[in-house]
Structures are given as structure tokens and as C-alpha cells.
Chain A
Amino acid sequence: MKVKAKMRKDMVSVKLLAQHPMETGLRKDKETGETIPAKFIQELSCMYKEKTVFIANFGRAVSKNPYLAFSFSGGQKGDPLTLSWIDNTGETKTTEAVIK
């Protein structure tokens, strides 16, 4: 995940791009004609100091390499954020980012 977390006034603005195919399970392989199995992020969350500040649940309609932007209050410059996703196959990814 590529994360940009910045202080904007008293809010922490978080923007991220997660690298993920977001396969719907509806697409067919152009060459083999076989259906490409579904593989998509179901939940992406952001933790700050042991508190969940944001949860995104995705369906199959979220674009490839999902983009998210949100903001929360109470953050401090220099503090770490933890972002994690889990997809329908059970694969997960966790990324730490520092608030700038």
C-alpha cells in the first residue's frame, strides 16, 4: 500500500493506493475462456493508537488498485498509522505510515 498521511489543520488526511487486482469473478480470461476467480479486498482498516479510525468494506465494484481518501481528528504529526486489508481469499497486507 502506498499511503500519504498529512496534518491538515487539526485533521489527519489519509490517502492511499492499495495494489490489488480486485477481480470480480465475472471476467473471463481472453485466451483460455475460463472465468478468472474472484479476488478482491473485503475490508480495509486504519488504526491509530490502538483505535480504529476508519473501516472500508469493499464489494466487487471497487476499481483495481483501490484508492481511498478519508480524514480523522486527534492525530499528531510524526505518529504512526497502521493500515491493513484482507481479501476474500484470506490474504492480508499491513502497512505502516507516518503522519507528516
Chain B
Amino acid sequence: MESLIDIVLLAFLVGIAFAIVWMKDLLAVIMLLGIYGLLSASFFVAMDAVDVAFTEASVGAGISTLLMLVTIAMTGRSEHPVRHKPFLALAVVIITGSLLIYGTLDMPYFGSAQAPVHQHVAPRYINDSIEEVGVPNIVTSVLASYRAFDTFGEVVVIFTAGMGVLALLSVVRRPKNTTGDKARDIAKIDLINDSMHEQHLVLRIVTKMLIPFIFLYAFYVQFHGDYGPGGGFQAGVIFASAIFLYAMLFGMSTARRVINQSFIQLLAAIGVLLYGSVGVVSLLNGKNFFDYSALSVDPIAGQHLGILLIELGVGCTVASVMVIIFFSFADRKDNGQNLESNGIENNLKENNKK
């Protein structure tokens, strides 16, 4: 049964990948990419990787689809046909692919317990982590304790990517003392937003009921990560997606009023700092960097405290970076639209004068 599910899901993935190559409408491509994300996440569940499935579900199917949608709303949705003949590309791909397949012939078979991957450090993690770290979820204990330095690097990469997006896409704020004309424009935009809200009455009410639940669930995932699938990465993404939902239905200006830009930037930095400072504290107490047993008299309690703190740091950083990225894109899009509509109005005025 399990191998049947494996075969079928992978066959779906290949079918969708070929359909993505074939399609020219980028919006359809992105819809298919959403299905692709959902499918690969189900595949991860079938392969026992519940934590990975958790992350892929929220990231691959949710956030990356959203970001790509906002982007193609700015850049246009149809792709030009490929002009030159793709024979060269096809030849390169086929040769590389057949070499890789030749390479797989030496690999240990799928699922064999004697494969070299399972011999080196994994037995130590599986057998000893409950005594050394005291957390039932082995993935969390490896992520947050054994390989904490590695994870620190990943968090810094995420932070840097967020700052990069901010540097590329941040829009210049309007000066506060706007003249009457501009103020009227802003009021008009707000009016348009409000009228759009009137149309989505059902959606707004259901969303209002769902959002507190999503926040609660994000906290559950954050703090239950030691005992089940979950942890800072997943919780951060879920937290951010609740904010996306709010921003999409109630308009960016309302969301901006709820979430302050400088506060969210500060929170992203605080997450990284919290993570790093846990390491520094254990260094000051005379143990190795990220050796949490230095945090408390009882080593297991120290491990628990350390994992809790760094997961909190990861959650803060991931959530705020995702919000920063999404807000940058959405702001960019709204501003572009306002410029466009102003341009159209000006054109109309000129035409009327003529």
C-alpha cells in the first residue's frame, strides 16, 4: 500500500512538471505549482517526514504561490514563446539526465536499512537523544541542539534575504503634510478599498472568526514542537500567513495600521539576536557555543530551556521576515497601481481639454 502511494504521488509530480513546461499562461503555471507543492508535501508524509511535510505545506503551497501571484500581477502573465529551437538545451538535459541515472545504479536501494546514510550519526541521534536532550521529537532535538550552529546560519540567511527584499522593493513613504490634492487621492483610494470590502462580507466574517484560531494554532505549533511535528520555522510561517490573510481581505493600509513596519523589522533582528545570545550565554558559562546544559543546574532542564528560547528566536525571525517580504511586494504592487490609475486620470483630463 505504501509503495503504491509512493509510485502514484511521484507519477503525479512528473505529470505536473511536464505540464508546467508546456504551459504559456503564467497564472496557470502558478496554479499548477501550488498543486505541486501540496503533492510533494503529501509525499513527505508518506515518507515519514512529518516535520518536513509541515513546512512544505505552509511554505510550498501557501507562501510561494502567494508571492509569485503578486509578482505576476506586477510583471504580466503571458510568456513569450521560445523563439530559437531548444535542441541544444534538450541535448544537454538528456545527456545530464542519463549520466545521473547511470550514477543512481550504484546507489543502495530505496528503503534499505543497510544504506551508508543510516550508519554514521543517525543511530546516535535515534538511540541517545532522549537521554542527552530529553525531547521526544528527534528532528527538533537535532535541529535545535545537536546542529544548532547550522540552524543559526540558516536563520541568518533568512534574515539577510528579508533585508535584501526590503532594500530592493521598499517604497518611499509619502510625506505626511500632503496637499489637498494628494489627500483627496488617498481618501479616494481608501474609499475604493472600503467598497471592495463591502463585496466580501462573507469572507470578512469568516476570516475574522478564523484569524484568532490561526494565531492560537501557530502558538500551539511553536510550543508543541518538542513533542510532535512543529517548531519555530513552521509556527513562524503559519503566524505570517494569518497576517497575509488579514492584509489581503482588509487592505494594505489597514494592515499597516495594525503592524508597524519598524516594529516588525526590529522583531526580525531580535529573533536573530535572541538565538545568538543563547549561544553566548552558554559560552560565558564555560561550555561550548550552543551547549544548553550550561543554562541550568540540571542539564536536561537546560536543554529544554535552550530549545524553547532558540525556537522562539527562529519563530520571531521567520514570521517577521515573511511579513516584511509580503508587505514589500504588496506595497510595491499597490503603489504601481496608484501611479497607473493617476496616469490614466491625467490622460483623461488631457483628452477632455482637447
Tell whether A and B belong to one assembly. no
